[in-house]
Structure 1
Amino acid sequence: MAQTPPLSAQDIRSARFDTPELRDRDFADKLGISEAQLMAAHVGHGVTRISADPDKLIPAAEQLGEVMALTRTPSCVHEKVGHYANYHSGAHASMVLNDEIDLRIFPRHWVHGFALDQETDKGRRRALLVFDAAGDAVHKIHMRAGSDHDAWSGVVSDLALEAQEDMLQVTPREAPEPAKARPDQAEELRQNWDRMTDTHQFLTMVSRLKMNRLGAYHVAGAPYVRALAPDCLESLFTELSALDVPVMVFVGNAGCIQIHSGPVRNIKTMGPWLNVLDPGFDMHLRSDHVAEVWEVHKPTRRGMAVSIEAFDADGRIILQIFGVRKPEDRTGDFEAIAAALPRAAAEEVLS
């Protein structure tokens, strides 16, 4: 059943005016509405409804020059600075593929779109925002000082929808799927695992066995997976920084996966947040949300793909980290760092 906020658009705007210090997502949570409903309430007040269709939105974003791409989950924010280019459309999955911005897009979750253009205490704020059916953020494109601001008005005009309502109905948020394991299928899982030739075959394989990613990790055992101490990620990033080992950092929600490929050099912890603060790449991870971490080995045609993968207490994947094979193949260095990470204590390994 669709959900409409109990407050009027005027009520939402008034409450927002009185609480400018909170981030949009935090304010929406406090008010008991989705972030998309907060945006909708400001239509006509610095916000325009736009098409969320990636086949329209991404080519339009290519006109904006250098921007910041942001994809987040409840536990991790991934920000990349660059240009949108080399877009490949697909009915079920699309992608942006270049050295700066690397995205895997799942169009059915790109439901609500907004263009934000507001003056704030910190200056002008312009962004293209995409939300799913529940009103949760899927992907955001933020203008920067060096972006092509002359192109902004034309882009928004081209994307604008005819209907510009300031109220929005959303569907209930889907509950995360916990680990779905089938210990009785353990041997078949391992046999199929050995036959993999590409990491993209993994989810299809475990689904066929009535499992999901995390459930399969609980079942597979060595040498396929190793449960790691949940607090090992700070050590991992610190070591990657110290040895200047490039990695691929995947962070994604149901509608978009965003990838950083390169070094992670400036590592800062601030309270529960583990941050990467590099030129062109920022990551903000809630370390206190990490419940499980796994070292995973998957065979491919190019050799073994080793990853470090973190999950929250509800079974949602928070991030995946792989070694980078090109242009300088240092996957061996990444694998050595991964192998040295501490194991989870016996009570931390779920069965």
Structure 2
Amino acid sequence: MATEPSRAALRVRFAEARAGGLRPKDAAESLGLSEGAAIAAHVPGAGEDLPAAGLRAVRLRGPWIDLLRSLEDCGPLMALTRNASVVHEKTGVYQGLSAQGPVGLAVGEDIDLRIFFHHWACGFAVHEPAREGPAGPQPSLQFFDANGTAVHKIYPRGQTDAARWQQVAADFADTTSPPPRFVPAEAPVPPRPDDTIDVEAFGQAWAGMHDTHEFFGLLRQHGVERQQGLELMEGRFTQRVPAASVRTLLQAAATGGTPVMVFVGNPGCIQIHTGPVRRIEPMGPWLNVLDPGFNLHLREDHIAGAWVVEKPTDAGTVTSLEVFDSARRLIVQFFGARQPGQAEQPAWRALVAPLRQPA
């Protein structure tokens, strides 16, 4: 029986994969590891001395809400939240942090997060010596779920208070906990058969919504998977549109200067950009927004379903574009920029209208 490679061997192989141009997630997967497991292998064990030229990691302790609050004095930071298909990067100050039980919020001027701390299994302060190239490393705080999948990452920027950043990492360092043990992700539960759902009752409940935030509870109450709900309401509240609709929408928003909201998330965090998008750059399979303070990287070849969705609210109908991958996972949502309780802007509806037209 083959023996598992040592931590030292894993570190060497990970460094080789990184030197070959792979980003950390891809480098870890090339070794058959989760990203979290690859980072954990770089936490020095008792009496272990890691090479000075290599990646080093220090495990962090919570409470995570306290750690995030302590970042405000660091000044501008880059928040990164991703899933398997989309990366959302936003630069700003961590402000307006609050939590109620396991659910947290960051409602700063630029950093806008919905945080689900029960999915934050562990965190690390990571340092990898600088090297050339766009994927070059830098100091970061990285948080992972129980499967070793990244839920949120934080990077210093040029205007970051470096001393304060280092102090936060030191204040929340955890040198006593044992190495984290990651478990394989469970297979997704398939949707219930459509004929077991009371579609009429589901539609009536949808029509009776007062706020978009009721939608998740509505799905749970009726036992409906998200994309299944869109399929069941097709022609009434939803319309299937081409995968190219994402590019069409972003390019039209950039041309017209229409501000949008872009939601990208995973089970542990949802990150939101509100404002204009300007520079839309397709590069191979990636569709990119490359603006000062906001970057979005979307794998267009991962889009398996796109829907225009209407949700009733007390302020009128709210329209969104929801995008799914081949595993039926929601990977990104687009809304028109609006404040809670405000009506949807006509300019946003004008952007969405062409998506509904037959090709």
**TM-score after normalising by structure 2:** 0.89
Partner SS state of residue 89, structure 1: strand
What is the aligned partner in structure 2 of residue 63 from structure 1? 73
- 2:307/2:323 contact within 8 Å kept: yes
Separation (CA, whole Å) in 1 of partners of 2:249 and 2:115: 28
Q: Supply the distance in 1 between the matched residues of 2:277 and 2:189 (Cα, whole angstroms).
A: 30
> Which residue identity is paired with 2:5?
L
- Distance in 2 separating the partners of 1:201 and 1:241: 30
Q: Identity across aligned pairs (percent)?
A: 39
CA 1:237–1:181 in 2, change beyond 3 Å: closer, same or farther?
Answer: farther
How far, CA to CA, are the matches of 2:257 and 2:113 in structure 1?
24
| 1:251 counterpart residue number | 264
Q: Does 1:288 align with 2:301?
A: yes
Offset of residue 41 of structure 1: 1.0
Whether 1:140 and 2:159 are equivalent positions in the alignment is no
Q: 2:142 aligns with which of 121, 129, 134?
A: 129
Deviations 1:71-93 (A, max 9, x none): 00000000000000110112131
Alignment partners' CA distance in 2, 1:64 and 1:316: 34
Which residue does the alignment assign to 2:242?
A: 229
Are the structure 2 counterparts of residues 148 and 59 from structure 1 closer, same or farther at C-alpha, using a change threshold of 3 Å? Answer: same
Please give the secondary structure, in 2, of the residue aligned with 1:163.
coil
SS at match of 1:25: helix
1:172 aligns with 2:170: no
Letter in 2 for 1:47: A
SS across alignment from 1:204: helix
User: How far did residue 236 of structure 1 move?
Assistant: 1.0
Change (3 A) 1:312 1:96: same
Task: Report the counterpart of residue 335 of structure 1 in structure 2.
Answer: 349
The answer (yes or no) to whether the contact 1:50–1:113 under 8 Å persists in 2 is yes
1:11 to 9, 12, 15: 9
Computed over aligned residues only, the root mean square deviation of the Cα atoms, in angstroms, reads: 2.1
Task: Read off the aligned partner of 1:341 and give its amino acid letter.
Answer: L
Is the counterpart of residue 38 in structure 1 residue 35 in structure 2?
Answer: no
**d(CA) in 1 for partners of 2:117, 2:339:** 29
SS in 1 for 2:9: helix
**Count of residues in Structure 1 that have an aligned counterpart in Structure 2:** 340
Matched residue, 1:27: 27
Q: Which residue of 2 aligns with 1:348?
A: none
3-state SS of paired residue (2:306): strand
Alignment check: 8 A CA contact 2:14 2:31 kept: no
Q: CA deviation at 1:111?
A: 0.7
Write the deviation string for residues 294-333 of structure 1: whole angstroms up to 9, x where unpaired.
1000011111110000000110001011111259977211
Q: Is this contact kept in 1: 2:317–2:344, CA < 8 A?
A: no
Deviates more, 1:335-344 or 1:226-235: 335-344
Residues 309 and 13 of structure 1: CA distance in aligned 2, closer, same or farther (over 3 Å): same
Change (3 A) 1:9 1:85: same
Could you say which structure has the greater relative contact order, defined with CA pairs below 8 angstroms and 6 or more residues apart? Answer: 1
Runs of 4+ in 1 over 6 A off after TM superposition: 327-330
Contact 1:47 1:116 (8 Å CA) reproduced: yes
C-alpha displacement at 1:198, in angstroms? 0.8
Q: Does 1:309 align with 2:319?
A: no
The Cα shift of 1:181 comes to 5.6
Partner of 1:94: 104
2:47 alignment partner in structure 1: none
Partner of 1:215: 228
Runs of 5+ in structure 1 lacking a partner?
346-351
Q: Distance in 2 between matches of 1:243 and 1:180?
A: 42
Q: Is the 8 A contact 1:179 1:315 kept in 2?
A: no
Change (3 A) 1:143 1:177: farther
Shift of the 108–326 alpha-carbon distance from structure 1 to 2, 3 Å rule, reads: closer
Deviation of 1:65 (Å): 1.4
Q: Equivalent residue for 1:182? A: 194
Aligned equivalent of 1:78: 88
SS in 2 for 1:125: coil
Using the TM superposition, give the Cα deviation of residue 60 of structure 1 relative to its aligned residue in structure 2, in angstroms.
Answer: 2.4
- Give 1:207 deviation, angstroms: 1.5
Q: How far off its partner does 1:264 sit?
A: 0.9
Determine which of 193, 198, 204 is the counterpart of 2:206.
193
Structure 2, unmatched stretches of 5+, are 45-49, 51-55
Please give the alpha-carbon distance, in whole angstroms, between the structure 2 residues aligned to 1:344 and 1:132.
41
| Deviation of the 1:121 alpha carbon | 1.1
Structure 2 contact 151–266 (Cα < 8 Å) conserved: yes
SS at 1:10 equivalent: helix
Q: CA deviation at 1:180?
A: 4.5
